[in-house]
Amino acid sequence: MTPVDLVGVMETGEGSGAIISPPIPPISHARELAGSKFGSDRVPAEGACSSTTDARRRRHELIDEAMSVRRPSVVWLLVLVAVTAIAVFVTLTIAVTGSSSLAFDSHAFEIAHNVRAPWLDSAARVITTLGLIATVGPAVLIGAAVLIKHHDRARAGAVLVAAALVWITVRIVKSVVNRPRPPHPLVHTSGQSYPSAHAANSLGWLAIAIALTVVTPTRAGRIAAIATGALLAVLVGLSRIYLRAHYASDVLAGEALAVAMYALATIGAVAWQARRDHAGGSADRRPLP
């Protein structure tokens, strides 16, 4: 024991001889000593983790408040999108059932024929596979799993329900309209032509991209994801026309039907979450969309 350590030797009025422990150095002094030995960056500031957690929680609360204010306007926008898409789909269905050949279908095939090239044939055959349910389906499931991991079950449910509705309604309409496929396709085709299931399924890429914007940290990343999703949907639709697997009206109808289903499913999710919030809140704190 050094002389400094003995400074705390008892000095009571009675002189009992007890030894008093030396005073503990302040926390700031301990940090300085630790920093000089190990490097100051290795000693975390007191309360840093809790401060970060509090800041993150406050940020989510502010987002919740802002989105709660926006929710009615978002719902009306979704209603407008759904109504417009349904109107387009109904118009195309009436036109297709009333006439076996539409002028813009023939015009689309003429354009495809004029730009045909071997490398485009190969590219179209690859791109068109992105509209298969076997390709889009797993992507939708993965996207929903990511949303659930981030405690956003409402969005995950909307994407899954919409994808299922698209798959069901496309098959119902195919059996009702029963439109034959275009002649001389460049790929194997089967079943009815109207509407295009590939085109409808491909909207899933855009839906996933939009839904995952809530977990994408940067604005550039969100814009890139949405642009990529939209581009994939467009390219899949064009590939079906180019390969003569579908008429242009089939593609437009499939995409319109898918847009309507995703919009309606999202409206349902917004209403469901609003009801839960009104009833006292839930673990899913991030409002849609």
pLDDT for the residue 149: 92
SS3 181: coil
How far apart, in whole angstroms, are the C-alpha atoms of residue 71 and residue 76?
9
Long-range contacts at 88-92 (CB < 8 A, ≥ 24 apart): 88/252, 88/253, 88/256, 89/195, 89/253, 89/256, 89/257, 89/260, 92/249, 92/252, 92/253, 92/256
> At 209, which amino acid appears?
A
For residue 273, give the nearest of 91, 53, 74, 83 by alpha carbon. Answer: 74
pLDDT, tens digit only, all 289 positions of the chain: 444 443 344 344 444 444 344 444 444 444 444 444 444 444 444 455 556 566 555 555 554 544 444 567 788 899 999 999 999 999 999 999 988 778 899 999 999 999 999 999 999 999 999 999 999 999 999 999 999 998 888 899 999 999 999 999 999 999 999 999 999 999 999 889 999 999 999 999 999 999 999 888 899 999 999 999 999 999 999 999 999 999 999 999 999 999 999 999 999 988 887 777 666 554 444 555 5
pLDDT at 47: 52
d(C-alpha 258, C-alpha 253), whole Å: 9
Strand partners for 54: none
What domains are defined for the chain?
82-276 (1.20.144)
| pLDDT at position 102 | 87
In this prediction, residue 170 carries a pLDDT of: 96
pLDDT recorded at residue 285? 47
DSSP-based three-state secondary structure for 208: helix
